[in-house]
Amino acid sequence: MATDARPEERSGSRSRPGRPGLTREPFPAATLTADHDQAQPLAEPVTMRLDGRVALVTGAGSPDGIGYATARRLADLGARVAIVSTTRRIHERAGELGVTGFVADLTDESEVGALADAVTEQLGDVEVLVNNAGLASRASPEVLRPVAQLSYEEWRGEIDRNLTTAFLCSRAFISGMAERGWGRIVNLAATAGPVNALPTEAAYAAAKAGVVGLTRALAMEMIADGVTVNAVAPGTIYTAASTWSEIKQGLGTPVGRPGTPDEVAAAIAFLCSPAASYITGQMLVVDGGNSVREAQFR
């Protein structure tokens, strides 16, 4: 069943002028020094550890995908990890990682609500959310078709799989994060859309550009509540789903090879950690320098 995860205004908090629904707690008096009235920064431990925190990673059904690598890294950092995908193979992945697996269609509002209830009941309140679901796989390949030939159903499918999933999952957990005053959300974008694009990938590119827009808007909505929201944009990453054409693209990057799921997972894990407390609303590109190269040959 679906849950209403819209943020509630907390008693005792001050509304921001001109920003209905957004609140900011008064700056803690403990941050004022005896020598002056200027507020000093709150010092959150600069650590990568996530001991005891509950983390949910979506789209982790592939054993060599970014979601799986991220779940493994977060578990290594001490988090209690839940993973979810659309098929029962997620239980195999959960057994391999020693984490908890769930099956859900994250484009379905009611199934996302049921997932949120189940994760909370079994593991506790989710404090770290990685919206990885939607990246192309053999089970759900990208739609590669020019706009003139793209059907409305194909367009909606790409938007739902790559953008709506991030919206529904974020909405399901942000109220709880805000109430507890701490949270991390990392959305998986891509270089396709926010940075560049290729012919025949308009729906995918639009969805991933939308992920960055959602990330930035949500970051500003949650900034007063101790919740950071960031995006990671991978370039060409070598997985079992990679085509020979994609591998060749990776060989043409300045680094000279495709990236690996573990390299993307390392970036995600940093943004999930207490060490990234002063980073929000950002997009971190992981593409071997490909997006900053002026030309392939000079």
Q: So which residues are the catalytic ones?
A: 204
Residues 76 and 74: their CA atoms lie apart, in Å, by: 5
Do 225 and 269 form a contact (C-beta atoms < 8 A)?
no
Torsion of the alpha carbons at 125, 96, 48 and 269, rounded to the nearest 10: -80
Residues 88 and 81: their CA atoms lie apart, in Å, by: 17
DSSP reduced 3-state for 294:
coil
For every residue of 257-279, DSSP letters joined together read S-B-HHHHHHHHHHHHSGGGTT-
